[in-house]
């Protein structure tokens, strides 16, 4: 593939990057950091001994630490890449070991609950700047990462009030070098926007695949055989990591329930249009939604490749 990421930096932005949790996102950050020379040294930690062994075997970090506390020693950038529900306990473990002046960030799909869980454990000298790269796939684990995952995707920073602008700019430079576009948002607003653009769509996918699996009149093999008719795209999303998504729903409860309420109302309206034979109402909606899809494609936010989510050969 063409080198969309461009040449490596002449000087690293950070001396020592510690990544805690090396799944899809942690390993992708390790790949892009190495490829772009974002950090002089990359240290990895993971709660799972199997994952630590795999990371060592793949050679995607310079060091694999036994514990998160050991990994963050002397790091000037620490990024938590574990499931949302694990962030608080990790912060508690690493808090006393963080270097003064270090930047601590995360990649969690929810922001307000992570801030509430992490912030109390941090020494005042540490710059906590939460972030969320809106980029991913349905794959997980250290072998699923690739260096171009963040290319032309958004990374949303949600700095707390009074955050040091220099530290925010350094983290923004990190994400831009990784290929992402950076936007800043209030944490609560982030959670509301992502509830409708990511969280509820995943819930709908989990639900429709579950509904199909539970049908008595239609066999599982028929569902698989005839899945091209729309169902197939839902199954990709419904294959996403169960722990990660459990944590997202438990930690963005209010915004998800608010958006689900609106979704249910609109679905009821659609139901009524079908029952009453309101073809005009149906085609009006479908025309508006088609325009939204075309707008997304024009912005270059859609990957047309059928193997989206697979590694792009950069190891």
Ligand X SMILES: O=C(O)C(=O)Cc1ccc(O)cc1
Ligand Y SMILES: NC(=O)C1=CN([C@@H]2O[C@H](COP(=O)(O)OP(=O)(O)OC[C@H]3O[C@@H](n4cnc5c(N)ncnc54)[C@H](O)[C@@H]3O)[C@@H](O)[C@H]2O)C=CC1
Phi, psi at 226, each rounded to 5°: -105, 30
Q: How far is the CB of 64 from ligand X (least distance, A)?
A: 25
200-214 and 253-276 helices, crossing angle to 10°: 60
The answer to the question of residue 71 lying near ligand Y (CB under 6 A) is no
Site residues for ligand Y, 7-66, by CB under 6 A, read 20-26, 46-48, 51
Strand partners, 105: 79
Please give the order of strands across the beta sheet that includes 131-134: 131-134, 154-157, 181-184
The answer to the question of residue 149 lying near ligand X (CB under 6 A) is no
Instruction: Provide the mask over 158-197, with x wherever binding to ligand X is found by CB under 6 A and - wherever it is not.
Output: ----------------------------------------
Taking Cα atoms as reference points, which of 37, 44, 301 lies closest to residue 173? 37
The answer to the question of residue 187 lying near ligand Y (CB under 6 A) is no
Q: How far is the CB of 194 from ligand X (least distance, A)?
A: 7
DSSP letters spanning 123-152: -TTSEE--EEEE---S--STTS--TTTTTT
Q: How far is the CB of 278 from ligand Y (least distance, A)?
A: 37
**Residue 86 interacting entry, from ligand X, ligand Y, none, C-beta within 5 to 8 Å by type:** ligand Y
CA-to-CA distance for 66 and 46, rounded, in angstroms? Answer: 8
Site residues for ligand X, 107-126, by CB under 6 A, read 109
Instruction: Provide the mask over 129-158, with x wherever binding to ligand Y is found by CB under 6 A and - wherever it is not.
Output: ----x--xx--xx-----------------
The answer to the question of residue 90 lying near ligand Y (CB under 6 A) is yes
Tokens at residue 118, please?
């992490």
CA-to-CA distance for 111 and 157, rounded, in angstroms? Answer: 9
CA-to-CA distance for 209 and 197, rounded, in angstroms? Answer: 19
Quick one: the chain helix, strand, coil %, rounded to 5?
50, 10, 35
**The pairing of beta strand 39-45 with beta strand 14-20:** parallel
Q: How far is the CB of 167 from ligand Y (least distance, A)?
A: 21
Do residues 169 and 159 lie in contact, with contact meaning Cβ atoms separated by under 8 Å? Answer: no
The answer to the question of residue 138 lying near ligand X (CB under 6 A) is yes
Q: Which stretch binds ligand X (CB under 6 A): 6-14, 86-94, 96-104, 135-143?
A: 135-143
Site residues for ligand X, 237-266, by CB under 6 A, read 237
Tokens at residue 139, please?
């794959």
Q: Which stretch binds ligand Y (CB under 6 A): 105-113, 183-191, 201-209, 279-287?
A: 105-113
The answer to the question of residue 109 lying near ligand Y (CB under 6 A) is yes
Q: How far is the CB of 223 from ligand X (least distance, A)?
A: 21
**Nearest to ligand X of 55, 195 (CB atom):** 195
Do residues 252 and 113 lie in contact, with contact meaning Cβ atoms separated by under 8 Å? Answer: yes
Site of interaction with ligand Y (CB under 6 A)? 20-26, 46-48, 51, 68, 81-84, 86, 89-90, 107-109, 133, 136-137, 140-141, 241, 244, 248
Q: Which residues bind ligand X (CB under 6 A)?
A: 109, 134-138, 198, 237
């Amino acid at each position: 593939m063409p080198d969309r990421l461009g040449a490596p930096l002449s000087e690293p932005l950070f001396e020592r990057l510690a990544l805690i949790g090396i799944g899809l996102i942690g390993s992708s950050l390790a790949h892009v950091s190495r490829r772009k020379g974002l950090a002089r040294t990359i240290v990895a930690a993971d709660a799972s001994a199997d994952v630590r062994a795999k990371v060592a075997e793949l050679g995607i970090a310079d060091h694999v630490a036994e514990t998160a506390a050991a990994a963050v020693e002397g790091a000037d950038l620490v990024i938590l890449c574990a499931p949302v529900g694990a962030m608080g306990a990790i912060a508690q473990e690493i808090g006393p070991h963080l270097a003064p002046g270090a930047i601590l960030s995360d990649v969690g799909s929810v922001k307000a609950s992570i801030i509430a869980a992490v912030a109390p454990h941090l020494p005042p000298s540490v710059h906590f700047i939460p972030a969320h790269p809106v980029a991913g796939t349905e794959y997980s684990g250290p072998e699923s990462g690739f260096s171009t995952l963040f290319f032309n995707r958004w990374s949303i920073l949600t700095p707390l009030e009074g955050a040091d602008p220099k530290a925010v700019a350094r983290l923004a430079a990190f994400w831009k070098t990784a290929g992402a576009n950076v936007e800043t948002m209030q944490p609560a607003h982030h959670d509301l926007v992502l509830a409708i653009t990511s969280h509820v769509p995943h819930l709908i996918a989990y639900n429709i695949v579950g509904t199909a699996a539970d049908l008595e009149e239609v066999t599982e093999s028929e569902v698989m055989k005839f899945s091209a008719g729309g169902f197939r795209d839902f199954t990709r999303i419904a294959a996403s990591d169960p722990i990660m998504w459990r944590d997202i729903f438990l930690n963005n409860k209010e915004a998800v329930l608010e958006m689900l309420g609106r979704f249910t109302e609109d679905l009821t309206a659609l139901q009524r249009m079908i029952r009453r034979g309101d073809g005009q109402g149906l085609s009006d909606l479908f025309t508006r939604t088609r325009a939204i899809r075309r707008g997304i494609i024009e912005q270059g936010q859609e990957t047309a490749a059928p193997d989206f989510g697979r590694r792009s050969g950069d190891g």
